[in-house]
Chain A
Amino acid sequence: MTNIDKHKNGDIPLVTYVSGPVVKASRGHILSMNEMVEVGTQRLVGEVIGLEGDTATIQVYEDTTGLRPGTEIIGQGMPLFAELGPGLIGHIFDGIQRPLTELQEKWGDFIQRGKVGSALSREKIWRFTPRLGQGEIVRSGQILGVVQETEAIEHKILIPPEVTGTIKKVAGPGNYTLEETIAVIETTGGRDIEIRLYHRWPVRVPRPYGKRQMPSEPLLTGQRVIDTFFPLAKGGTAAIPGGFGTGKTVTQHQLSKWADADVIVYIGCGERGNEMTGVLTDFPQLLDPRTQRPLIERTVLIANTSDMPVAAREASIYTGITIAEYFRDQGYDVALMADSTSRWAEALREISGRLEEMPAEEGFPAYLASRLAAFYERAGQVVTLSDLKGSVSLIGAVSPPGGDFSEPVTMHTKRFVQCFWALDKELASARYFPAINYLQSYSAYVKAVAPWWFEKTDPEWEKLRDEAVQILQEDAKLQNIVKLLGEEALPDDQRRILEGARLIKNDFLQQSAFDPVDTYCMPVKQFYLLKVIIHFIRRLKDVVDRRIPLFRAMELPVVEQIHRAKTSIEGEDTAPFQHILQDIDSQIDQLLARSQEARDVV
């Protein structure tokens, strides 16, 4: 039945109630759950989120000002979907995948309402090279051919999920737009399916894969406190909770700049407009340390800033993860940053409130935990349907009210993530960045990634790391005494711990995002920097054992070298570190010898 026919039969849903983004409609029986709808002549996009009797409840992804009861609603016959194909990389979309650059061309500098074209450009021409030929039997997820989307990303054109059959026709190498048919597949049932360069996928449904694997490779970020202390594995999950001003967003930006993933999906979910602008200004200029190509050539941006409609904010997380899964299915390692999941949870709460649902903790709906779990479960390392290895790593920022980690979103998130990078207000107010609290944070991937570090750096890696963690923990205990009595009151062997911890904190963990050398630290450099510091701390023990005052050792010129190492030594050069190691030994030995002489004289 066409819409006109439906109308004649009096069978078109009409708006009966409007309150903010929540709209109720009559004749709900012709709509289905989660179906996408368009409301009124402005074609406001919405989604059916409830059906009861003949009343449909719809959440509208745009401002509903001026919407009147009696307005018509047109069902789209499918759930909220994302368009997946060439044209995603380097682009910025809103929460329901409207292309923001095109919106600006159409409407100017302010975002208006209503439907615009499609997410991916239909005019742009892509060079397609087939990988499969006529007559081959294919199943979903297989690679039909490729399009070089950017210098860094070869976009693989997949047989869409749920399509299996024989290739009846396939286009030769050449230039095609998204709408052109590049292949026809005859299904086992004898039906012909036309394949284009793109396909659609409902965002709330995880995309299928072959099988899951345990994460084993670190997702390197160049951030020492993360890579060495609290590593994340490819396909793993992490949360960054922290009150305002503790550096969540700077950390997220650092990760999206330097993480060694093939594709980055960055979701600005209910955050500041200027931050997205910052990403858009920086990323075309910054180079990926591995490929030497601009970072924007591997990045997909989703921006639903805090002043954009709240319902689209709820959807933005799903749009983002669906795009991430799509690149995973092409055999890529994808890292997804969601800043911030708390804003997404608040969007859930806001809509839930308007639906007059029974609230659970702090007004959040009772299904908050299950939604969070379902989201983090979409991360993972998998073998794809076409037997490639791919992964989605998920890093969610959490913005706990008042910096209180016992609130519902932080608490539930903690249950579903393996890595917890707790940001600390006190560290941040001393401008100590990244303000990751090394006592509250944890990572369950240390054992999983240790073999990688053995192989790439040195078998001593885990030992050094554990020793450093231990020193920091002892230091934390001693600090309680220091607070009461002052540092002077401690004996030298305990002050050695304090000095050691200070070195680890200032010269290893602290890392400047704004220093051109320090902003990214290679794994080898991380290892040697830690080795130098731990070696010095070990040698301090000799000094203390000989009853030489500790400050004499701290005045050695090599200490200054250690202080400057993180910003002065570039790249993967290990020679300068070998020098420092030698200098430590020679200077400490000298110190010991001098004191021995002095004693002999006496």
Chain B
Amino acid sequence: MLSDKVESTSEKRMAGLEFIGLQKISGPLVIIEGISGVGFGERVELITARDEIRQGRVLAISEKAAVLEVFHGTSGLDQENTRVRFMGRPFEMIVSKEEVLGRIFTGLGMPLDGGPAPFRGEPRNVNGFAINPVARAYPEDFIQTGISTIDGMNTLVRGQKLPIFSGSGLPHNDLAIQIVRQARLLTEESSFAVIFAAMGVRHDEAEAFRQSFEESGVLNNVAMFLNLADDPTVERLIAPRVALTVAEYLAFEEGMHVLVILTDMTNYCEALREVATSKGEVPSRKGYPGYLYSDLASIYERAGRIKGRQGSVTQIPILTMPDDDITHPIPDLTGYITEGQIVLDRGLYQKGIYPPVNVLPSLSRLMSDGIGEGKTREDHRNISSQLYAAYANAKQVERLASIIGEEDLSTTDKRYFTFSREFENRFVRQDKDEDRSIFETLDLGWELVMMLPEKELVRVTPEQIEKYGKTAHTSHQE
């Protein structure tokens, strides 16, 4: 009884409890003392002496003091005259379909295109809520991207989170753009949207994305959230959450199929490390905080489908592996959360191959449920497995050839050697606007494996060799 009363009076507190003066400013963090009635995770506004407003949130709270994280940075704040307004609510974004699509926002969800801020619709907590595993529908709708290495060997399905592991200077943006442009289902046409969240990317990269959306005529179905390289670091922590809040709304309330591009997750993680360090937290690997996994999961897990609801959220996060190292904590923890990864390879890129997808470390965990009879084709699983086995073996043969020389290889190994080249040049390589159907991809795969002796083809059945292999081979001969 009593406690209810206490709670209800404080509930009535109007948003905008204000205090003045800061005790400590350190990096992106601020400590304010002598406050009361403030909750953990609450949104705050810091008002400078010149009435400039900066956004932030409460990171830790005790009876007398609060630690605040300031998204716009603390530069220019002074200790005496800064006013802090506690909003009594977590960070929220107001979303409605008409007011977000076709628009450009900052990482905090403020308009960048001169339009008004969205005001219709419910404010939604940008941290979201975990989807109950019982409510999830298992993703199994094949998305054709028109890219052989993805469709044939690392199939993307609706509701999946499939990141691109790249390195600096590799054409991950081109690949992402090509996926956005070409992605479609084999079966139906339906309403779709693209949410693009940039974290610390360069102006020209963001502009390239915008232009490509414009050229392919989808701009009206796109919402862009831009935190560019020269924008405040801490804002990067909110940008993907704002973007995903919009994505979830469009998918689960408006029934749209939403493709979310998050780039670059490496910048996000570095921002997280920066804040953790200024808080004086105990670091774990390479200085990243111990909760990096949980934090990344709270972003990546916001993908999927829900039973009884129309839409879906499919995520394609992009990250650049520092020093091309896949064991670095960022790609490593990402790989543990996401449902596979598409790995770009500098070696292939230097050979002039686009897209430089190295299929061996690449993986799609949801592939086996999205392919096969009725979805793609009955032989898909086996031919894909055969291509993997053959290419893995071919790579070993290449290593051997670099020691003993190509001439001294056995006849079978020589065939593998040629297979490897042909695979990279014909299967992996394709033009930036080349949209291959899944059947073209599979037939091409057959044509390539038929270059090998038939006794090497242990992952496919004799019937399949007869049905697909022989025909693919003859058509090639003609």
Listed in ascending order, the chain A residues whose CB lies under 8 Å from chain B are 4, 7, 16-20, 24, 40-41, 63-70, 72, 92, 100-101, 103-104, 107-112, 243-245, 268, 270, 272-274, 276-278, 280-281, 303, 305-308, 310, 343, 346-347, 349-350, 353, 356, 359, 362-364, 399, 401-404, 425-426, 429-432, 482-488, 506, 514, 563
Residues of chain B within 8 A (CB-CB) of A401 are: 285, 327, 329, 332-333
Question: B7 is contacted by which of A40, A112, A432 (Cβ under 8 Å)?
Answer: A40
Which of A41, A431, A432 lies at the interface centre, i.e. has the most chain B CB atoms within 10 A of its CB? A431
Min C-beta distance of A253 to chain B, whole Å: 12
Q: Is the CB of A245 within 8 A of B363?
A: yes
Q: Is the CB of B40 within 8 A of A278?
A: no
A-B contact pairs, 18 of them (CB 8 A): A18-B62, A20-B40, A65-B41, A68-B10, A72-B6, A101-B134, A109-B252, A109-B306, A110-B130, A245-B363, A280-B133, A305-B301, A306-B298, A310-B291, A346-B294, A402-B327, A429-B360, A431-B392
Min C-beta distance of A514 to chain B, whole Å: 6
Min C-beta distance of B435 to chain A, whole Å: 26
Question: A66 is contacted by which of B42, B134, B135, B396 (Cβ under 8 Å)?
Answer: B42
Q: Is the CB of A308 within 8 A of B130?
A: yes
For the complex, what is the distance from the CA of A484 to the CA of B396, rounded to whole Å? 11
Question: A273 is contacted by which of B60, B62, B136 (Cβ under 8 Å)?
Answer: B136
- Beyond A68-B61, A402-B332, A429-B361, is A306–B40 a contact (Cβ under 8 Å)? no
Min C-beta distance of A457 to chain B, whole Å: 27
Q: Is the CB of A280 within 8 A of B284?
A: no
For the complex, what is the distance from the CA of A363 to the CA of B328, rounded to whole Å? 17
Q: Is the CB of A4 within 8 A of B2?
A: yes
Question: A17 is contacted by which of B2, B63, B399 (Cβ under 8 Å)?
Answer: B63
Question: A68 is contacted by which of B39, B136, B326 (Cβ under 8 Å)?
Answer: B39
Q: Is the CB of B293 within 8 A of A346?
A: yes
Residues of chain B within 8 A (CB-CB) of A104 are: 132, 134-135
Q: Is the CB of A65 within 8 A of B381?
A: no
* Chain A residue nearest to B293 in the complex (CB): A346
- Stretch from B47-55, B109-117, B406-414, B442-450 forming part of the interface with A: B406-414
Size class of B's contact patch? 35 or more
Within 8 A of A (CB), among B106-161: 125, 127-139, 159
Q: Is the CB of B293 within 8 A of A343?
A: yes
- Stretch from B169-177, B337-345, B464-472 forming part of the interface with A: B337-345
- Beyond A104-B134, A486-B404, is A18–B61 a contact (Cβ under 8 Å)? yes
Which of B6, B7, B40, B340 lies at the interface centre, i.e. has the most chain A CB atoms within 10 A of its CB? B40
For the complex, what is the distance from the CA of A514 to the CA of B399, rounded to whole Å? 32
Q: Is the CB of A306 within 8 A of B337?
A: yes
Residues of chain A within 8 A (CB-CB) of B39 are: 18, 65-68
Q: Secondary structure of the A side of the interface?
A: mixed
- 0/1 interface trace, chain B 52-69, chain A, CB 8 Å (1 if under): 000000011111000000
Q: Is the CB of A69 within 8 A of B62?
A: yes
Question: B129 is contacted by which of A67, A111, A359 (Cβ under 8 Å)?
Answer: A111
* Chain A residue nearest to B4 in the complex (CB): A41
Q: Is the CB of A274 within 8 A of B366?
A: yes
Residues of chain B within 8 A (CB-CB) of A346 are: 290-291, 293-294
Min C-beta distance of A37 to chain B, whole Å: 14
- Beyond A66-B41, A274-B304, A346-B293, is A307–B135 a contact (Cβ under 8 Å)? no
For the complex, what is the distance from the CA of A100 to the CA of B133, rounded to whole Å? 8
Residues of chain B within 8 A (CB-CB) of A432 are: 389
Residues of chain B within 8 A (CB-CB) of A347 are: 294
Q: Is the CB of A486 within 8 A of B309?
A: no
Q: Is the CB of B404 within 8 A of A485?
A: yes
Residues of chain B within 8 A (CB-CB) of A310 are: 291, 294
- 0/1 interface trace, chain B 1-32, chain A, CB 8 Å (1 if under): 11110110010000000000000000000000
Within 8 A of A (CB), among B363-406: 363, 365-366, 368-369, 381, 384-385, 388-389, 392-393, 396, 399-400, 403-404
Question: A109 is contacted by which of B132, B388, B392 (Cβ under 8 Å)?
Answer: B132
Min C-beta distance of A537 to chain B, whole Å: 18
Q: Is the CB of B132 within 8 A of A103?
A: yes
